[in-house]
Amino acid sequence: MNNRIRELRARHNLSQLELAQKVGVRRETIVFLEKGRYNPSLRLAHDIALVFGLPIEEVFLFHDHE
C-alpha cells in the first residue's frame, strides 16, 4: 500500500507535527506512514483523509496484487 501523505501535506502547507496534532498521533507515526513503514488503522486513515478533504482511496493507494 502506498500513500500520498507527503504530497498532500506539502500541498496543504502542513508540517508533520501539525498533521500529527490534527489527527491525534505522534509526529513519528506520520514519518513512518510517509515512508510506507506503517499501515494505519482504518480510523487513522479516515482522519488523515478528512484533514485533506479527500476520500480514503485517494490518499491511500491499494494495489490489486497485494
Partner 1 sequence: MKKTLVMFFVAALVILSVIVWIFHAKLTWGTQEILMVSGVVIIAGFALILGIKRLLSHLRKEPAEDEFSKKIMTRASSLSYYISLYLWLMLMYLSDETGLECHTLIGAGILGMALVFFFSWIGVKLLGTGHE
Instruction: Give the shortest CB-58-to-partner 1 separation in angstroms.
Output: 20
CB of 7 to partner 1, least distance (A): 18
Please tell me the distance from the alpha carbon of residue 6 to that of residue 18, in angstroms, as a whole number: 13
Contact region with partner 1 (CB under 8 A), list: 5-13, 14-22, 50-58: 14-22
26 interacts with partner 1 by CB under 8 A: yes
Burial class (CB in 10 A: 0-12, 13-18, 19+), 53: exposed
* 25: DSSP letter: S
Question: Which of 36, 57, 58, 61 is close enough to bind partner 1 by CB under 8 A?
Answer: 36
